[in-house]
A and B are shown apart, each in its own frame.
Chain A
Amino acid sequence: MRQLEPFPRGPAQLAHYLRLYTVYLRVGWLSLMAYPVDFVVRNLGNLFWNLASVGAIWVIFTFAECIGGFDRAQVLFIYAMSMLARSIWHLLWVNMMSIGFYVQQGTLDRLLVRPLDPLFQVVAGYVDNDDWGELALGLVVLVVAGRTVGLGNDPLLVAWTGLAVLSGSLVYAAIHLAAASTAFWMVQNSAVTRLAWDMDSFSRYPLDIYPVAVRLTLTWVVPFGFAAYYPSQLALGTGTYRYLALLTPVVAAAAFAGAYRFWRHGLGRYQGTGT
């Protein structure tokens, strides 16, 4: 078996990867700009789509008092955190969902012969074109809802929210990397990647609305609860799971480390398609 390069360790290699990443990002950006009108229209569409989702919550609160024990500003805060965490993952790392295609079509071979970490190449090779509206709206709603719940007065909590959003992105990345890596065992794994994709809508509302079995699954099996719901409780100062919130960065790092090991394990048994 071929020996797999370890992921960059040491500052020199890290600097090398960072420099390459800027090159990859520039190329990705240029390919987005090949159809500039389409890019703008597409992201406006995305903005309106997300605006509709936020609007739906607004409409619900014209007659409801709370959802799962959270009021309007709190629900919007959780929703905005999940939008931000999801869009950061989606804009920069969504191509990890294509691992299945690389395996099926044999194009993974091309990444393996280059002297770079293959996952880095998969992720850096594509900048997403249609989720910038979600990022922008997530930021706006987070700020507005954050002010309403009185978050702005505490710099520590603001810093926590920033850390929590990045951790949330890592949670998304971990779940989708693990789902995509099943491609090394199954010829057709799109049902698995799609399930992970669809399950993320569970992460947008307070978990209190789901039955216990679903809640436990979203906490310990597919940890979407840590994408927004648990970390938000510390920022909001409410909810029964504030102590779990502190675990968010740890859970995110552990989940990603586990998913990365799973991917390396799969990569180790990859034989190529022979094409």
Chain B
Amino acid sequence: MTYLVFARAAVLRNLTYRAGYWMSLTGTASMVAVQYYLWSAVYSTAGLAPAGMTLGQTLTYVLTARAASTFLSLDAGRGISRRVRLGTIAAELARPVDLQLSLFFEGLGEATFALLAVSAPVFAVLVWAGAVVLPSPGALHWFLLSLLLAYLVTYALSFAVGLVSFWTGNGMGLADFLEAGVFLFSGILVPLDFFPGPVRALARALPFQAIYHLPMSILTGRAGSFGGALAMQAGWAVLLIWAGRVVWRRARPFLVVQGG
């Protein structure tokens, strides 16, 4: 696979840029800490179990989602916008590689690094401290597979949105919009089961739930059937990757290369 070179380069870049690593570790740790204290305070009223979720389940869901958010980042789309805005996209297009694939592998390198160096250690500390409760080993395997699918959905979404910069010249705005959508409907902020009925129904019809809600439901043993959750994620991943492909073919003629 020649494209693995892109992944390798991204990992090496992260290994060299030490300050960036500490940034993302401290960032993730403080987000996790705030969430831990917030939800512990919410549950201080005795006997509270909204939507049947105990404090242990809620902490497992919310804190693992925050730890995972470092590697489930939406940077692929921002990468495209930056290239369009700076004009370097012209040189990238002239190369004999598929842009969607090369960006995918570059993102994969970044994500692998973030997963192993930030998310996994934070998760391990949370398990060790007893804030996150692990399910049976069988469910854990499905959870890891589910995280992988969540990554595909995240990547495909941000790629498709990044391509819009071919029309607008600068896609940062839409990237922010996408982030807001993920924030609101993915479960990263509040477990989706806490939402009032209609909002929950809306969230379940959108692809964002495939990023955090479905993996965390598997982890907390609330997914119903693992197969159903995974199939839902795989469906969204295929649909969105295909959509990115279509938008990509349509977007190319609209590209305006901006000054260097």
Contacts and interface: CB of A to CB of B under 8 A. Distances in A.
Contacts of B126: none
Chain B contact residues (Cβ within 8 angstroms of A): what range? 35 or more
B260 interface: no
Interface in A189-217: 189-191, 194-195, 197-199, 201-202, 205, 208-211, 214
A209 B48 contact: no
B172 A38 contact: yes
B176 A49 contact: yes
Interface stretch (B20-28, B138-146, B239-247): B20-28
Contact of B194 (A59, A197, A210, A214): A59
B174 A201 contact: no
Interface in B1-50: 18-20, 22-24, 26-27, 30-31, 33-34, 37-38, 40-43, 45, 48, 50
Interface stretch (B129-137, B179-187, B218-226): B179-187
Contacts of B18: 188
Contacts of B41: 67-68, 205, 208-209
A148 interface: no
Nearest to A100: B19
A41 interface: yes
Nearest to B43: A64
A210 B33 CA distance: 9
B233 interface: no
| A contact face: mostly helix, strand, loop, or mixed | helix
Interface string A47-72: 01101110110011011111110000
25 contacts: A40-B173, A41-B173, A41-B176, A42-B177, A45-B175, A45-B179, A46-B176, A48-B181, A52-B183, A53-B189, A60-B42, A60-B194, A64-B45, A64-B50, A65-B45, A68-B41, A188-B19, A191-B22, A194-B23, A194-B24, A194-B27, A201-B30, A201-B31, A209-B37, A214-B37
Interface of B: 18-20, 22-24, 26-27, 30-31, 33-34, 37-38, 40-43, 45, 48, 50, 168-181, 183-184, 189-190, 194-196
Interface of A: 35, 37-46, 48-49, 51-53, 55-56, 59-60, 62-68, 130, 188-191, 194-195, 197-199, 201-202, 205, 208-211, 214
